[in-house]
Amino acid sequence: MILALILLIVGGTVAGSMLYGRRKQKRAQNMEEWALGGRKLGTLVFWFLNAGEIYTTFAVLGISGFAWAYGAPAYLAFCSVSLSAAIGYWLTPLIHAYGRRHRLVTQADFFAHRYNSRWLGVCIAAAGLIALVVYVQIQVTALTLVVRLAAPGVGQGAAALVAVALMLMFVFLAGLRSAAFAAGVKDILMLVVVIALAWTVAGVVGETSVLDLFRTVGDRFPEAVRFPGLKPELGLDVTWLVTSALNVALGTYVFPHMFQLCYSADSGDTIRRNAVFQPIYSLSYFFIILLGFAALLAGTQAPGGDPNALLLAFVGERYPAWMLGVLAGTASLLALVPGSVLLLTCGAIFGRNIVRPLMPSIDDRTELLASRLAMVVFAAIALYLTLGASGSLVEIGLSAYAAIGMLAPGVYCAFLMRRVTAGAVLAGLVTGYAVMWVPALSNLAAGWFPHWEAGLVALLANAAVTVGLSLAVPRKAPSLQPA
């Protein structure tokens, strides 16, 4: 039954998305059609695609498992989504207008054009690919769990290989419009499944209401409902919450795939309307965290100690098989759709910002072919990272946000300052990565800023160097305000 439901949900959604994509546009013959949907995505399609890139397996499997393993630190989800939408209301229309005016396709195009530096575009492309591959790893990890659930005899490596193959199959056959349709289906399914589980979970664990469930968790596991949570030795206190939320908010729309999403909208008003209503989605995290607490109260143990598999294990123990099948099918879409779009973005960046600068004479069809072939390589890298990973989806996600946060000063300064240089942006980028990855510097930063999210400390060091050098060596740049 579980396997049948997974195949029905995933197969039906993929088939529907293909039909939708082919009806809305001809077969993509160039990068703009394939990667940006022809820059014609309206309010509803853009809403689902934007939500689809934010609400992935990180949101459902990751946060519920994080709440079970760590407790109150899972409240990070509430803060970061609302802060991201507030920043996005200001930032994303500017990205959209600048990209449309100059016919940009990737984030690296933005840096190369804004700072009049092709070499900076190549460096930003490489940095963006690093962060994107880590983010693809999240989706591969989750889809691997579902594959192993559907086929218990399949090993970890084989399941991860199947997960990567499914993502590649979808993204090769689809474009951004097809992914938008699938994102809409998965978002609706996600909300229905999460609300249905939360509506019934109190009775399942022997409580009379949701309030009683929280009260019992507070009585039996008092550390779970207050900071620093169930593992105080990790330092996940309020300081960590605030700095992590800021880091996620500042980095959300700096991801390369979110840049391409902004370029794809049909107008700035479409983006603003989306940002106004986007925080409503944060309400779903209440139910997701509730499920993690219910599993804690029920004494559910994550298979192999893996918190990413906690929700699947809890539903498998306490609910009928058909409910587990619906959850697993929905989780498949939560991983498949965003993972496919991330791979699409990786391919677009590689073809346009790595291959084309090295081979300026190639035509659009050759560039598109190079982009599609590159996706196989990036998928293989994500597969390798998945097989060697052991952290929760939230921990992997925070690592991705820390890596992509190094591009944030260059993005924000582009719209806030006229005296920013390409050299200053690169120097800030190098400084930020050094603070994160050089042990001596990272240890020093941890001592100076105890319990801070390491990514935010590195981002601040990056910003200080970028702004400081730009002010020291002024250079007039063209106005970036949208026409």
Q: Would you place residue 217 in the very low, low, confident or very high pLDDT band (cuts 50, 70, 90)? A: very high
Q: Rounded to 5 degrees, what are φ and ψ at 235? A: 75, 30
- What predicted TM-score, i.e. pTM, was given to this entire model? 0.85
Percent of the chain predicted with pLDDT > 70: 88
Q: Rounded to 5 degrees, what are φ and ψ at 237? A: -95, -165
pLDDT 10s digits, 410-437? 999 999 988 888 999 999 999 999 999 9
Q: Which two tokens stand for residue 456?
A: 């935010």
Domains and CATH numbers, the chain: 2-405 (1.20.1730.10)
Predicted pLDDT of residue 87: 92
Region 169-179 average pLDDT? 68
Q: Could you tell me which of 40, 126, 87 has the C-alpha nearest to residue 407?
A: 126
pLDDT 10s digits, 100-125? 888 888 888 999 999 988 889 899 99
Q: Could you tell me which of 124, 24, 32 has the C-alpha nearest to residue 371?
A: 32
Percent of the chain predicted with pLDDT > 90: 32
**Alpha carbon 397 to chain centroid distance?**
7
Highest-pLDDT range among 152-156, 230-234, 337-341: 230-234
Predicted pLDDT of residue 460: 96
Query: What is the Cβ-side half-sphere exposure of residue 355, based on CA atoms within 13 angstroms?
Result: 21
Query: How large is the angle between the packed helices 321-350 and 118-150, nearest 10 degrees?
Result: 160
Q: Could you tell me which of 433, 437, 432, 423 has the C-alpha nearest to residue 471?
A: 423
Cis peptide before 360, with omega less than 30 degrees from 0? no
Mean pLDDT, the chain, integer: 84
* DSSP-H helix ranges across 351-421: 356-358, 364-388, 393-404, 408-416
Say if residue 482's pLDDT is above 50: no
Predicted pLDDT of residue 245: 93
Query: What is the Cβ-side half-sphere exposure of residue 131, based on CA atoms within 13 angstroms?
Result: 30
Q: Which two tokens stand for residue 136?
A: 């693809």
Which amino acid is located at 20 in the chain?
A: Y
The alpha-carbon radius of gyration of the chain (Å, integer) is: 22
* DSSP-H helix ranges across 25-155: 31-36, 43-54, 63-70, 76-101, 107-114, 118-150
Say if residue 95's pLDDT is above 50: yes
Token match 């942006």: residue? 425
In whole angstroms, give the CA distance from residue 456 to residue 247. 5
Which amino acid is located at 3 in the chain?
A: L
Say if residue 57's pLDDT is above 80: no
Say if residue 403's pLDDT is above 50: yes
In whole angstroms, give the CA distance from residue 320 to residue 302. 18
Q: Would you place residue 49 in the very low, low, confident or very high pLDDT band (cuts 50, 70, 90)? A: low
Region 346-352 average pLDDT? 86
Predicted pLDDT of residue 155: 80
Predicted pLDDT of residue 389: 67
